[in-house]
Each structure stands twice: as structure tokens, then as C-alpha cells.
Chains A and B, each alone.
Chain A
Amino acid sequence: MSTTILFTIISLSAIGGGAAIILYFVAQKFKVYEDPRIDQVEEALPGANCGGCGYPGCRGFAEALVKTDDISELNCPVGGNETMSTIAKILGKEVEAREPLVAVVRCSGSPEHRKRVNQYDGASSCAISSSLYAGETDCQYGCLGLGDCVDACDFDAIYMDKKTGLPVVIDDNCTACGACVKACPNDIIELRKKNKKDRKIFVSCINQDKGGIARKACRVACIGCGKCVKVCPFDAITMENFLAYIDPVKCKLCRKCVTECPTGSILEINFPPRKVKEDTKNAKSEPKKVSEKSENNSSTQNK
């Protein structure tokens, strides 16, 4: 064994040992005390770092949960009630059970229903298009189709349907984090109560123009006629600015408003097909609409 090898072993070991000792003391001296519960809470969180809670990432939310005394206002939409109750047990604090929510796109203005009157050639961003002008159609409230909502989603829960040019939410993946709601410059997407079997009834329109103008721009627009408001047995529908709105909590999914709506603006999703009645006025609009929508949704559930 030559001295070279011996020297090498000794010197490298000395350097390694010296570095280890220095690092140990420095780590001890500059150690930041962190409440160990923050790590425990972070373990319980989904780890998606989506920001749906309003805090910077899951670690940020864990810190907030530990530091805040009353956490009833804080919620992780991705983890939902299960996660929040686990966290409540860890911290010994109270949480409220919340209704699960899901993102709903409130526009049906596909090219079939809403005529294109100009062509947009700017950057592919809804935020840019909406700051420039009212869009490619005569409805200035409707979906611009450039996909800012799709870009914003961290959970692959929304995609752009190529035929209709409208976004489609995949209910199973949607965590109701709210990113798409924030991204849409026209406030088309809403977080609504998630019902059994993913059933939904909502007014798929946010057009606030007078009925005649709205209808001229889009065939399935809400014209503010008020028939749905009158027929609802639960007073769940309100009318403001020529636009109907169905309260998702009051609505009991009875479907009466869907058949009343003369333009087909109110949609029913994931319901069984109705029996065709020959003597109702709206018979021709009804079976077409229901089967279209449940077809579309069975295809999205297969994704």
C-alpha cells in the first residue's frame, strides 16, 4: 500500500468528517422551530398545490390551519369533507361539513345556435379577446372559446369540445378549486352544488340583453320571459336583467322549468330520458335536448 493511497484516504475522511461536524453545529444553531403539527396536517392534504384554498400551496395552507384558531372558514375543495375532518381531528379544532361543489359552464352558444359575425385573429387567450371586443358573435356575454379555463385547470377536469367550441367539465375530476371560474373573463363558469348521480339543472346562459336582442344573437339564449319563475314549485328561480337564475340549493331537480323554457336555455344533465308526450306544446324541443345532453355526458364520463 503506497503512502499516496493512505494520504488520500486520511485527507478525504478528514474533510468529510470536518464538513459533517460543521454542518451539524450550523444546523443546530440556525434551526427554525416549526410546529410539528404543520407536517402532520400537510400529510393529510392532497398535495396538489392547486391554490383552491386561497393559500400558496398545501404547505402554506397547513401553516394557516395550524396558526388560525377558528378554521371553520378554511376549506380544501380538493380533499373535501373527508380531508377537513381528518385535519380537525389532528388539530382538535372544529370544521363544518360543506356541500360538495362542481364547476358548471353556463353557455350553450355553439356555432349551431350562435352565428359567427366576424373572425378573431389575435392571441389565443380569452382574457385578451374580451379586453379587445365582444367576441365573434352578437352575444357579448357568451363563451369566447379560446380556452383560458382549460389552461387554468390543474386536474384535467375541463376540455374544449372541438365541435361546439365550448368547454366541457369532467365531473369526476373536478375538485371545485375555482381556478376556471377565476380564469373566465366573462364569469360564465359557476361552482354549483354537486347532486346525486351528477345531476344538474341550470340556466345555460348569462346573457343580460333584452329578450329580442338575446334571441337574435343566440337561439338558445335566456330571453327573460319568466315562465320558469312562474312554474317552479320551490321558488328556486329568480329573474334579473332579463336573465333567469336557478338557486342550486333550493332547486329540487323536479325538471318542470326545463319543459317550460321556450328557447331550450335551461338544461337538465344526467337524467333518464322522458316519455314523449304528444300533447305538450314543447314536445319537439324536449326529447332532442335531453338525449343530446345525456349522450354528451355519457361520453364525458367514459373519459
Chain B
Amino acid sequence: MLKTFTKGGVHPAECKYSASSAIENLPLPKKVSIPLAQHIGAPSKPVVQKGDKVKVGDIIAESAGFVSANIHSSVSGTVSKIDNVLDSTGYKKPCVIIDVEGDEWNEKINQSTDLKKEISLTDKEIIQKINQSGIVGLGGATFPSHVKLSIPDGKKIDVLIINGVECEPYLTSDHRLMLEKSEEMLVGIQILMKAVSVNRAIIGIENNKPDAIEHLSGLVKNYPGIEVQALKVKYPQGGEKQLIKALIKREVPSGGLPLDVGAVVHNVGTAFAVYEAVQKNKPLFERVVTVTGKSVKKPSNFMVRIGTPVSELIEAAGGLPEDTGKVISGGPMMGKALNALEVPITKGTSGILILPEEMANRKPENNCIRCAKCVSVCPQGLEPYLLNKLSQLEKNDILEKNGVMDCIECGSCAFTCPAGLPLLDYIRLGKSRVSRIIRSRKQ
């Protein structure tokens, strides 16, 4: 019996076109634009200026608080300027723009590819190293990892959960990472286990990746404490609350964190980045990005340097298809549609999805027919039709009572709605209004 979460969920078509494409290194671009705000929390403060020469791995922006992250250069060259550039948020944001010259790496980085299994740092040193290396959640949330690993007093953790689910259709970067960098990832998991002092880790993998499940199940025999658990294919299994429920049957309370039920969740990509940072002294400056879509000539998984323009990835995947309608950063359920192709890849970009014209537009809108399908698919047990209406009427206090802040913005409701209502658009708007009210209440 495959484990799964019990409430809600939908089954979008998987379309994993790039599942068998091995990770390729994308050739270096001529110029990178590295945004200063690639993570949740305060944007980083630049420590370089126009004209400075940088090497790969040099720090170019510093963390601006506890919930913030360092940013490192992904290329070697000269800093051209620090300017506002259109990025995947849809607005122009401050970025460090570097003209690429060669590929010289910072001397402290260990560039050898042999597996280093011995973990010599203490738990506090590990967390500090992760902080210094600018590691953030690579599942897409980009939450600074050292904050997640700093367990506050009074909370006890007994299990580390590793998210290898990749429930979004089309995306395969985590899948390939699990197949190709398996042992490095497993050592990374051990490092994380040491950092939070647990001796049990579970890797959750959706059942549409049988090769990864089999491969890792064989390898974990040599890694005590780590288990692999196959999960039923259902979106959004990769949501951390749903993952915890499926794997260890605990429900994170409303408004709470996984910490409250004794768990810490990290993505497989983050685990790999932790290995590289702790064992090889390599800060986070590159990541695996899937480029895919029905009309894409060569669906691929690239190892990309942060700050590379999206257009370069699309070129390497066979060029922009003729019938392109929409370009999405991320997956089709939660990804962000881009309004230009020159935007840079950031730490949170898991994939570039190109949808053809016929899939680019929404269904025509009807009245709500009160079919309650949105209620039946909501994994958080909310009532999307009601939250949508309340948000349109700006009834913020009733919205809060009906749990709008519990919404994980997975998109299952809008996916299902037969009347084509823009449910998630208004629920998101309601969330931002209510969170502003909550913040002003705290002051």
C-alpha cells in the first residue's frame, strides 16, 4: 500500500518529457544578472561595486539579518554595474550584473568530484557553514536553510524528511539529481541529520519515479537511519504539510510549522547543495533547471549558473518553439508566468516550462455552479468558493476566520473548477490583505 495524504488532491497530467535527459552543464553565458532578493527574508546587501573583479564562489552580497542569505558569484569576471533588472517577480529589482571572463574559481573550493563521506564538523559548525554558503530551500520556496535548521528552545525534532516528491508536472530536476548525484545527496542528508541531531530520515519519492526509488532503496542500506518511502502520485504530495502527513501521519497545526510536530523538511536539491557546501567548501551558485514543454525540441535538465538569462537555456534546449504561448518559471501548478525571456535564473528556479498557444489561455468563465469540487480537492480542507467570494467583497475578518492563511496556494481549486473561476487569484489577494492586517495587529 502506497502512502498518501488523505484530504483533497488532484491528478494533472504528468508530462515528464525530460525524465530521461541526463544533467548537462549549460555553457557559460556572456553576462549574468544576480538578483539581491532570491530568498524569503531581507534582500542581501551588495559587497562589490562596479569594476570589481570576482571569481566563481566569491561572496558578492551579504545576508541582511537572521532571515536572509549570502549571495555568491556564479561566474568569474568584472562587475559591470548594480542596477534594476526585470526578474522573475515581474518587476525590475536590484541585481549585480557581471561580465563573464573565463571560469576561475575561488581557491578555497574543492573542485574534485570524489565522494567525501566523512563529516568532520559539529552540528553548530554545519549550520554556520550552510549559512555562510548562502543555501536556501531549492524546492522553490527559497527559505534560508540555516534558519530552518536552527531549532528554537522547547521544540524537539525526531525525524528529518527529505522531499524527493517533485509533484509538479513537467519538472524532473530533482528526479535526475536523485539518480545522478545519489551518494552525494545521501551524505548531504547525513550532514543535515547531524545538524538537527536526529537519527532518522525518510526520503519521500512519488511512484512515477520507480528508477529513483529502486536506486536509492539499494543505496540507503549503507546509510544507517535513512529510509526511502514510495508515495502515491497525487498533487500536491510535495507540499511539506501533505508530505509530513503521508510519511509520519502527523498534521502540522493551522498557523504552525513542521517543527511543531517534530519534523524538519528539506528538498533533495538542498541536501545536495549542503553536501557541496560542507564537504567541498562550495557555496550555492548553480542548480539543476529543467527546460521542457510539449513543443520543446530537446527537453533537458541543465546545471545552470545563477544569473544566467532564461533565453540561454531555451536556446540550448533547441530554441523557442514557434507556437509558444506562455513561458513559466517553475511548474504549471504553482509557477510564475514570465513577461520577458531575459530574466535571470535564480536559486528558486526549478524549471522553465514552455506552454503552446492552445494551452496558454484560461477556460471561459461562468457563474459559480456550487458544485463543491473545489472543496473536495482542497488539501487544506478549506472552501475555495467561499474564500473567493469573501475576497471579492473584501470581508477580511470573515476570510481570516475561514482559514485563508492556511491556503498553500497549490492551485488545485482553480485547476478543478468547471466554471473556470479565477479562485486562486482572489484567494491570494485575500491572503495578502489579511496578512497585512495581522501584521499591523501585532505592532
Contacts and interface: CB of A to CB of B under 8 A. Distances in A.
Interface of A: 117-118, 121-123, 125, 127-128, 131-134, 140, 209
A133 B422 contact: no
A121 B361 contact: yes
Interface stretch (B88-96, B151-159, B307-315): B88-96
Given A118-B340, A131-B429, A134-B339, 5 more contacts: A128-B422, A133-B90, A133-B91, A133-B339, A134-B86
26 contacts: A117-B339, A117-B340, A118-B340, A121-B360, A121-B361, A122-B422, A122-B425, A123-B426, A125-B425, A125-B426, A125-B429, A127-B429, A128-B422, A128-B425, A128-B426, A128-B429, A131-B429, A132-B90, A132-B336, A132-B337, A133-B90, A133-B337, A133-B339, A134-B86, A134-B91, A134-B92
Contacts of B89: 133
B362 interface: yes
Contacts of B234: none
Nearest to B422: A123
B269 to A, nearest CB: 26
Contacts of A133: 89-91, 337, 339
Contacts of A127: 429
A140 B361 contact: no
Contacts of A209: 92
A134 B428 CA distance: 17
User: Which interface class (under 10, 10 to 19, 20 to 34, 35 or more) fits B?
Assistant: 10 to 19
A131 B362 contact: no
Interface of B: 86, 89-92, 336-337, 339-340, 360-362, 422, 425-426, 428-429, 432
Nearest to B91: A134
**7 closest Cβ pairs, A-B complex:** A133-B90, A123-B422, A123-B425, A118-B339, A128-B425, A134-B91, A134-B90
Nearest to A122: B425
Nearest to B426: A123
Contacts of A121: 360-362
B92 A140 contact: yes
Contacts of B432: 131
A129 to B, nearest CB: 9
B378 to A, nearest CB: 19
Nearest to A120: B339
Contacts of B336: 132
Nearest to B423: A123
A128 B391 CA distance: 11
Contacts of B428: 128, 131
A118 B432 CA distance: 25
Contacts of A123: 422, 425-426
A209 B340 CA distance: 18
A117 B425 CA distance: 22
Contacts of A132: 90, 336-337
B364 to A, nearest CB: 11
A209 B92 CA distance: 10
Contacts of B91: 133-134, 140
Contacts of B429: 125, 127-128, 131
Contacts of A134: 86, 90-92, 339
A223 to B, nearest CB: 17
Contacts of B90: 132-134
B216 to A, nearest CB: 38
A121 B360 CA distance: 9
B356 to A, nearest CB: 14
Contacts of A118: 339-340
A219 B176 CA distance: 48
Contacts of B339: 117-118, 133-134
Nearest to A124: B422
